[in-house]
Amino acid sequence: MSKKNANPYNKKSNYGKIFASWKTAKVMTRAEMTKVAKDLGMTDTAAKATVTVILSPRKSDEVSRGADCLGNISAKGHIYYADKLKHKNEAGQRFQLRYRSEVLAPKTRKVKEELKSVKAKATKATKATKATAKSDADTVEV
């Protein structure tokens, strides 16, 4: 198998196992992929979230309605994309696995700029504040 069309996810991970079944089937619906995820022991919510991440990359920005075509930050959208097929079947929308002809730059998280730390000037307590603190400590509520 060429390295270009290899599974972009860790083969032992849930993403990798679901992607491998999609690669074998070539075309799958969201429901079929969710069933594969549940068969791996995932909860319904986790299975749907995982499938959403895997299906999030699209061919271009126009197809994904202005969103980034690389999809979710966890997806390897710079390598592949999910092509929505025009004809739906009774099970729902079908997705075909396609690899990009030219690999894009991977999506990365933006690094937050750290603010310069500013040391606050220490202030000395005045006699008045010391006296107030002492009187507060001396009074006891009953």
Extents of the domains making up the chain: 14-99
Least confident of 44-53, 75-84, 128-137: 128-137
Of the chain, the end-to-end C-alpha distance in Å amounts to 82
Token pair of 2, please?
């060429």
Read off the pLDDT of residues 56-79 as tens digits, 9 standing for 90 and up: 887 775 555 556 666 666 678 778
- Cα separation of 103 and 39, whole Å? 31
Please state, in angstroms and as integers, the Cα–Cα distance from residue 97 to each residue in 27, 110, 119, following that order.
7, 28, 55
Q: Name which of 32, 43, 100 is nearest 69 in CA terms.
A: 100
pTM over 0.75: no
Read off the pLDDT of residues 72-119 as tens digits, 9 standing for 90 and up: 666 787 788 888 888 777 878 899 998 888 877 777 767 777 666 677
8 A C-beta contact, residue 9 and residue 15: yes
